[in-house]
Amino acid sequence: MPASGIDTLAPDQRAAVQLVLRQGLSYGELSEMLGMPEETIRARARGGLEALAPDLPAPARAGEIADWLLGQLSERHAARTRELLLSDPAAKKWAETVAKPLRKVPGGENVPELPGKSRSNGKAQPRRDEPAPAPEAPPRRDEPAPAPAREAPPRSSRLGGALLIGGAVVIVAAVLAFVFLRGGDDPEPSADTPTTTTPTATPSAVGLQPGDVVMQGPAGSKALAVLRLVPTGESRIEFALVGQDIPPNASGERYSLWFRNEDGKAQLVGDLAKPVAQNGQLASSGPGEDNIDDFPTWFQSYETALITQDEPGAKEPGRVIVSGALPDTSG
Protein backbone atom coordinates (compact mmCIF):
# COMPACT_ATOMS: atom_id res chain seq x y z
CA MET A 1 0.00 0.00 0.00
CA PRO A 2 1.45 3.42 -0.91
CA ALA A 3 2.44 5.76 1.86
CA SER A 4 -0.28 8.14 2.95
CA GLY A 5 1.29 10.92 5.02
CA ILE A 6 -0.47 13.91 6.47
CA ASP A 7 1.12 16.16 3.84
CA THR A 8 -1.05 14.46 1.21
CA LEU A 9 -4.28 15.69 2.82
CA ALA A 10 -6.36 18.53 1.45
CA PRO A 11 -5.19 21.81 3.06
CA ASP A 12 -8.35 22.27 5.13
CA GLN A 13 -8.20 18.71 6.46
CA ARG A 14 -4.47 18.91 7.17
CA ALA A 15 -4.86 22.16 9.07
CA ALA A 16 -7.70 20.83 11.22
CA VAL A 17 -5.71 17.73 12.18
CA GLN A 18 -2.51 19.67 12.86
CA LEU A 19 -4.24 22.29 14.97
CA VAL A 20 -6.03 19.69 17.11
CA LEU A 21 -2.79 17.77 17.73
CA ARG A 22 -0.47 20.77 18.12
CA GLN A 23 -2.71 22.80 20.42
CA GLY A 24 -4.08 19.84 22.40
CA LEU A 25 -7.54 21.45 22.48
CA SER A 26 -11.04 20.11 21.97
CA TYR A 27 -13.06 20.84 18.85
CA GLY A 28 -15.16 23.21 20.92
CA GLU A 29 -12.15 25.12 22.26
CA LEU A 30 -10.72 25.45 18.76
CA SER A 31 -14.11 26.61 17.52
CA GLU A 32 -14.16 29.41 20.08
CA MET A 33 -10.53 30.37 19.46
CA LEU A 34 -10.83 30.44 15.66
CA GLY A 35 -14.38 31.76 15.29
CA MET A 36 -15.45 28.75 13.23
CA PRO A 37 -18.34 26.30 13.73
CA GLU A 38 -17.37 23.33 15.86
CA GLU A 39 -18.98 20.94 13.38
CA THR A 40 -16.78 22.35 10.59
CA ILE A 41 -13.61 21.57 12.55
CA ARG A 42 -14.90 18.12 13.52
CA ALA A 43 -15.90 17.23 9.95
CA ARG A 44 -12.57 18.30 8.48
CA ALA A 45 -10.54 16.51 11.15
CA ARG A 46 -12.53 13.30 10.70
CA GLY A 47 -12.32 13.56 6.93
CA GLY A 48 -8.58 14.02 7.16
CA LEU A 49 -8.16 10.85 9.21
CA GLU A 50 -10.29 8.85 6.78
CA ALA A 51 -8.06 10.10 3.96
CA LEU A 52 -4.99 8.71 5.76
CA ALA A 53 -6.22 5.17 5.01
CA PRO A 54 -7.38 5.44 1.37
CA ASP A 55 -7.01 1.73 0.63
CA LEU A 56 -9.08 0.55 3.59
CA PRO A 57 -12.86 0.84 3.94
CA ALA A 58 -13.72 3.16 6.80
CA PRO A 59 -15.40 1.25 9.66
CA ALA A 60 -18.97 2.04 10.63
CA ARG A 61 -17.77 4.02 13.67
CA ALA A 62 -14.85 5.73 11.91
CA GLY A 63 -15.83 9.14 13.25
CA GLU A 64 -15.77 7.88 16.83
CA ILE A 65 -12.38 6.23 16.31
CA ALA A 66 -11.03 9.42 14.73
CA ASP A 67 -12.21 11.45 17.71
CA TRP A 68 -10.54 8.95 20.06
CA LEU A 69 -7.22 9.15 18.20
CA LEU A 70 -7.39 12.95 18.38
CA GLY A 71 -8.09 12.96 22.13
CA GLN A 72 -11.66 14.25 21.85
CA LEU A 73 -13.53 11.63 23.91
CA SER A 74 -14.36 11.42 27.58
CA GLU A 75 -12.87 8.50 29.51
CA ARG A 76 -16.21 6.68 29.54
CA HIS A 77 -16.67 7.05 25.80
CA ALA A 78 -13.00 6.25 25.13
CA ALA A 79 -13.38 2.97 27.03
CA ARG A 80 -16.17 1.93 24.67
CA THR A 81 -13.98 2.79 21.68
CA ARG A 82 -11.14 0.63 23.00
CA GLU A 83 -13.59 -2.24 23.46
CA LEU A 84 -14.67 -1.79 19.85
CA LEU A 85 -11.07 -1.99 18.62
CA LEU A 86 -10.44 -5.13 20.68
CA SER A 87 -13.49 -6.85 19.21
CA ASP A 88 -13.28 -5.67 15.58
CA PRO A 89 -10.00 -6.55 13.78
CA ALA A 90 -10.94 -4.52 10.69
CA ALA A 91 -11.59 -1.40 12.77
CA LYS A 92 -8.34 -1.92 14.65
CA LYS A 93 -6.38 -2.27 11.41
CA TRP A 94 -7.93 0.95 10.12
CA ALA A 95 -7.04 2.74 13.35
CA GLU A 96 -3.44 1.44 13.21
CA THR A 97 -3.06 2.69 9.64
CA VAL A 98 -4.39 6.12 10.54
CA ALA A 99 -2.41 6.45 13.78
CA LYS A 100 0.99 5.83 12.18
CA PRO A 101 1.25 9.12 10.21
CA LEU A 102 -0.45 11.04 13.04
CA ARG A 103 2.43 10.19 15.37
CA LYS A 104 4.86 11.97 13.04
CA VAL A 105 3.03 15.30 13.44
CA PRO A 106 3.98 17.77 16.21
CA GLY A 107 1.74 16.76 19.10
CA GLY A 108 1.42 13.23 17.70
CA GLU A 109 3.13 11.77 20.74
CA ASN A 110 -0.25 12.15 22.46
CA VAL A 111 -2.06 9.89 20.00
CA PRO A 112 -3.23 6.96 22.18
CA GLU A 113 -1.85 3.47 21.80
CA LEU A 114 -4.21 0.91 20.38
CA PRO A 115 -5.41 -1.62 22.95
CA GLY A 116 -3.22 -4.71 23.05
CA LYS A 117 -0.41 -2.99 21.13
CA SER A 118 2.68 -1.24 22.49
CA ARG A 119 5.30 0.92 20.85
CA SER A 120 8.27 -0.79 19.24
CA ASN A 121 10.60 0.60 21.88
CA GLY A 122 8.68 -1.25 24.55
CA LYS A 123 7.96 1.84 26.62
CA ALA A 124 4.41 2.50 27.66
CA GLN A 125 3.12 5.86 26.48
CA PRO A 126 0.43 7.89 28.29
CA ARG A 127 -2.85 8.49 26.52
CA ARG A 128 -4.80 11.71 26.59
CA ASP A 129 -7.72 9.85 28.10
CA GLU A 130 -5.61 8.25 30.85
CA PRO A 131 -3.73 9.92 33.72
CA ALA A 132 -0.05 10.51 33.04
CA PRO A 133 2.43 8.29 34.94
CA ALA A 134 4.41 9.67 37.83
CA PRO A 135 7.56 11.53 36.81
CA GLU A 136 10.83 9.64 36.74
CA ALA A 137 13.05 9.80 39.81
CA PRO A 138 15.79 12.46 39.74
CA PRO A 139 19.30 11.31 38.77
CA ARG A 140 21.55 9.91 41.50
CA ARG A 141 24.26 12.06 42.99
CA ASP A 142 26.94 9.91 41.39
CA GLU A 143 25.52 10.42 37.92
CA PRO A 144 27.21 13.06 35.73
CA ALA A 145 25.50 16.42 35.45
CA PRO A 146 23.69 17.08 32.18
CA ALA A 147 25.64 18.88 29.48
CA PRO A 148 25.12 22.64 29.41
CA ALA A 149 22.75 24.00 26.79
CA ARG A 150 24.33 25.02 23.51
CA GLU A 151 24.58 28.73 22.90
CA ALA A 152 22.21 30.15 20.33
CA PRO A 153 23.82 30.90 16.96
CA PRO A 154 24.46 34.56 16.21
CA ARG A 155 21.80 36.51 14.35
CA SER A 156 22.25 37.44 10.72
CA SER A 157 24.34 40.54 10.20
CA ARG A 158 22.13 41.69 7.32
CA LEU A 159 19.97 44.75 7.96
CA GLY A 160 16.78 43.50 9.52
CA GLY A 161 18.29 40.44 11.15
CA ALA A 162 16.78 36.96 10.97
CA LEU A 163 13.10 36.34 11.63
CA LEU A 164 12.83 33.45 14.06
CA ILE A 165 9.92 31.15 14.79
CA GLY A 166 9.10 32.00 18.35
CA GLY A 167 6.14 32.95 20.53
CA ALA A 168 2.58 33.90 19.72
CA VAL A 169 1.66 30.23 19.26
CA VAL A 170 -2.07 30.85 19.55
CA ILE A 171 -1.88 33.80 17.16
CA VAL A 172 -0.03 31.67 14.61
CA ALA A 173 -2.61 28.92 15.03
CA ALA A 174 -5.43 31.36 14.36
CA VAL A 175 -3.72 32.70 11.26
CA LEU A 176 -3.02 29.16 10.09
CA ALA A 177 -6.72 28.49 10.39
CA PHE A 178 -7.41 31.36 8.00
CA VAL A 179 -4.74 30.22 5.55
CA PHE A 180 -5.55 26.52 5.56
CA LEU A 181 -9.27 26.35 6.40
CA ARG A 182 -10.45 29.16 4.14
CA GLY A 183 -11.92 26.72 1.60
CA GLY A 184 -10.14 28.04 -1.48
CA ASP A 185 -13.06 30.15 -2.66
CA ASP A 186 -11.07 33.29 -3.48
CA PRO A 187 -11.05 34.58 -7.07
CA GLU A 188 -7.95 33.88 -9.13
CA PRO A 189 -5.60 36.85 -9.65
CA SER A 190 -6.12 38.43 -13.05
CA ALA A 191 -3.02 40.61 -13.48
CA ASP A 192 0.57 39.74 -14.32
CA THR A 193 1.79 41.30 -11.10
CA PRO A 194 1.22 40.20 -7.49
CA THR A 195 -2.29 41.09 -6.34
CA THR A 196 -3.54 42.27 -2.99
CA THR A 197 -7.18 41.20 -3.27
CA THR A 198 -8.75 40.65 0.13
CA PRO A 199 -10.42 37.22 0.44
CA THR A 200 -14.19 37.28 0.25
CA ALA A 201 -14.71 35.19 3.37
CA THR A 202 -15.62 37.18 6.47
CA PRO A 203 -13.24 37.50 9.43
CA SER A 204 -15.70 35.80 11.77
CA ALA A 205 -15.87 32.79 9.47
CA VAL A 206 -12.16 32.17 8.99
CA GLY A 207 -10.33 33.88 11.85
CA LEU A 208 -9.06 36.82 9.78
CA GLN A 209 -8.83 39.97 11.89
CA PRO A 210 -8.90 43.68 10.96
CA GLY A 211 -5.35 44.80 10.22
CA ASP A 212 -4.14 41.40 8.98
CA VAL A 213 -1.99 41.80 5.88
CA VAL A 214 -3.03 39.27 3.23
CA MET A 215 -0.26 38.54 0.73
CA GLN A 216 -0.90 36.72 -2.54
CA GLY A 217 1.26 35.54 -5.42
CA PRO A 218 1.18 36.61 -9.07
CA ALA A 219 -1.34 35.28 -11.58
CA GLY A 220 -1.34 31.50 -11.68
CA SER A 221 0.26 31.14 -8.26
CA LYS A 222 -1.57 29.60 -5.32
CA ALA A 223 0.91 31.10 -2.84
CA LEU A 224 -0.74 32.89 0.06
CA ALA A 225 0.56 34.39 3.30
CA VAL A 226 -0.83 36.40 6.20
CA LEU A 227 1.06 38.82 8.47
CA ARG A 228 -0.58 39.67 11.80
CA LEU A 229 0.61 42.23 14.34
CA VAL A 230 0.93 40.97 17.91
CA PRO A 231 1.04 43.62 20.68
CA THR A 232 3.21 42.19 23.46
CA GLY A 233 3.10 44.93 26.08
CA GLU A 234 5.63 47.60 27.03
CA SER A 235 4.80 49.35 23.72
CA ARG A 236 6.36 46.48 21.76
CA ILE A 237 4.75 45.23 18.56
CA GLU A 238 5.76 41.93 17.00
CA PHE A 239 4.24 39.92 14.17
CA ALA A 240 3.36 36.38 13.16
CA LEU A 241 3.79 35.37 9.52
CA VAL A 242 2.41 32.17 7.98
CA GLY A 243 1.78 30.97 4.45
CA GLN A 244 0.80 28.05 2.28
CA ASP A 245 1.74 26.86 -1.21
CA ILE A 246 5.00 28.81 -0.98
CA PRO A 247 7.62 27.35 -3.39
CA PRO A 248 10.17 25.33 -1.37
CA ASN A 249 13.63 26.84 -0.98
CA ALA A 250 16.22 25.37 -3.32
CA SER A 251 19.80 25.03 -2.16
CA GLY A 252 21.27 28.46 -1.48
CA GLU A 253 17.96 30.31 -1.88
CA ARG A 254 16.94 32.84 0.75
CA TYR A 255 13.45 34.18 1.46
CA SER A 256 13.11 37.62 3.02
CA LEU A 257 10.39 39.98 4.19
CA TRP A 258 10.54 43.54 2.80
CA PHE A 259 8.41 46.66 3.03
CA ARG A 260 8.33 48.86 -0.11
CA ASN A 261 6.82 52.09 -1.45
CA GLU A 262 5.62 52.84 -4.98
CA ASP A 263 8.77 54.86 -5.66
CA GLY A 264 10.81 51.68 -5.16
CA LYS A 265 12.27 52.58 -1.78
CA ALA A 266 12.47 49.34 0.21
CA GLN A 267 13.29 48.29 3.76
CA LEU A 268 14.46 44.79 4.64
CA VAL A 269 12.53 43.60 7.70
CA GLY A 270 14.46 40.35 7.93
CA ASP A 271 15.43 37.01 6.43
CA LEU A 272 13.19 34.03 7.06
CA ALA A 273 15.35 31.82 9.22
CA LYS A 274 13.52 28.54 8.50
CA PRO A 275 13.42 27.37 4.87
CA VAL A 276 10.11 26.42 3.28
CA ALA A 277 9.91 22.63 2.91
CA GLN A 278 8.16 20.51 0.30
CA ASN A 279 4.80 20.97 2.02
CA GLY A 280 4.90 24.66 1.04
CA GLN A 281 4.14 25.90 4.57
CA LEU A 282 5.79 29.00 5.95
CA ALA A 283 5.81 30.01 9.61
CA SER A 284 7.88 32.78 11.15
CA SER A 285 7.71 35.69 13.56
CA GLY A 286 9.64 38.87 14.23
CA PRO A 287 11.07 41.42 14.11
CA GLY A 288 14.61 40.73 15.27
CA GLU A 289 15.71 42.34 18.53
CA ASP A 290 17.87 44.84 16.62
CA ASN A 291 14.80 46.26 14.89
CA ILE A 292 12.09 45.98 17.54
CA ASP A 293 12.03 49.78 18.01
CA ASP A 294 12.06 50.61 14.28
CA PHE A 295 9.46 48.10 13.14
CA PRO A 296 6.32 50.14 14.05
CA THR A 297 7.64 53.10 12.05
CA TRP A 298 8.43 50.89 9.06
CA PHE A 299 4.96 49.35 9.22
CA GLN A 300 3.35 52.81 9.12
CA SER A 301 5.72 54.33 6.55
CA TYR A 302 5.64 51.77 3.74
CA GLU A 303 2.84 50.71 1.40
CA THR A 304 3.47 47.07 0.48
CA ALA A 305 4.76 43.95 2.22
CA LEU A 306 6.73 41.48 0.10
CA ILE A 307 8.18 38.03 0.57
CA THR A 308 10.96 37.70 -1.97
CA GLN A 309 13.60 35.25 -3.11
CA ASP A 310 16.95 37.00 -2.66
CA GLU A 311 20.60 36.38 -3.33
CA PRO A 312 22.80 36.43 -0.21
CA GLY A 313 23.56 40.02 0.75
CA ALA A 314 20.91 41.51 -1.55
CA LYS A 315 20.32 45.26 -1.11
CA GLU A 316 16.99 45.29 -2.98
CA PRO A 317 14.01 42.88 -3.07
CA GLY A 318 14.42 39.97 -5.47
CA ARG A 319 11.76 37.84 -7.15
CA VAL A 320 8.40 38.46 -5.49
CA ILE A 321 6.75 35.32 -4.10
CA VAL A 322 3.75 37.06 -2.48
CA SER A 323 2.82 40.67 -1.81
CA GLY A 324 0.06 42.57 -0.04
CA ALA A 325 -0.94 46.11 0.83
CA LEU A 326 -0.02 47.40 4.25
CA PRO A 327 -2.84 49.28 6.03
CA ASP A 328 -3.09 53.01 5.34
CA THR A 329 -2.45 54.74 8.67
CA SER A 330 -2.19 58.28 7.30
CA GLY A 331 -5.79 59.10 8.25
Kindly report, residue by residue over 276-288, the tens digit of the pLDDT. Answer: 888 787 878 888 8
Higher pLDDT, 197 or 206: 206
Per the CB < 8 A criterion, the answer to whether 41 and 76 are in contact is no
Average pLDDT over residues 44-51: 93
Is beta strand 162-163 parallel, antiparallel or unpaired with respect to 266-272? parallel
Mean pLDDT of 21-40: 80
Cα–Cα distance for residue pair 51/66, rounded to 1 Å: 11
> How far does Cα 204 stand from its chain's mean position?
19
Q: pLDDT digits over 205-242, tens only?
A: 344 567 788 889 988 888 888 888 877 666 677 888 88
Q: Are 168 and 230 in contact (CB under 8 A)?
A: yes
How far, in Å, are 75, 125, 198 from residue 114 at the CA level?
15, 11, 45
β-partners of residue 241 are: 227, 284
pLDDT at 65: 96
Q: Determine if the pTM surpasses 0.85.
A: no
pLDDT of residue 117: 55
Residue pLDDT, tens place only, 294-313: 998 999 999 999 999 988 78
pLDDT at 175: 56
- Give the C-alpha distances (Å, rounded to integers) separating 26 from 87, 111, 159, 188, 206: 27, 14, 42, 34, 18
Q: Quote the pLDDT of residue 314.
A: 85
Residue 318 has pLDDT above 70, yes or no: yes
* Burial of residue 133, with CB atoms counted within 10 A of its CB: 0-12 exposed, 13-18 middle, 19 or more buried: exposed
Model pLDDT for residues 76-117, shown as the tens digit of each residue: 999 999 999 999 999 999 999 999 999 988 788 999 999 985
Q: State the DSSP string of 13-33.
A: HHHHHHHHHHHT--HHHHHHH
Predicted confidence at residue 178, as pLDDT, reads: 53
The domain segmentation of the chain, as residue ranges, is 6-110, 162-325
pLDDT at 166 over 50: no
Residue 41: pLDDT band with limits 50, 70, 90: confident
Mean pLDDT value of segment 17-22: 82
Minimum mean pLDDT range among 16-30, 128-142, 207-221: 128-142
Contact 254, 136 (CB under 8 A): no
- Per DSSP bridges, beta strands 266-272 and 254-260 are antiparallel
Q: How would you classify the pairing of strands 254-260 and 304-310?
A: antiparallel
Report how far residue 31's alpha carbon sits from residue 13's, in angstroms, rounded to the nearest whole number: 15
Assign 63 a pLDDT band (cuts: 50, 70, 90). very high
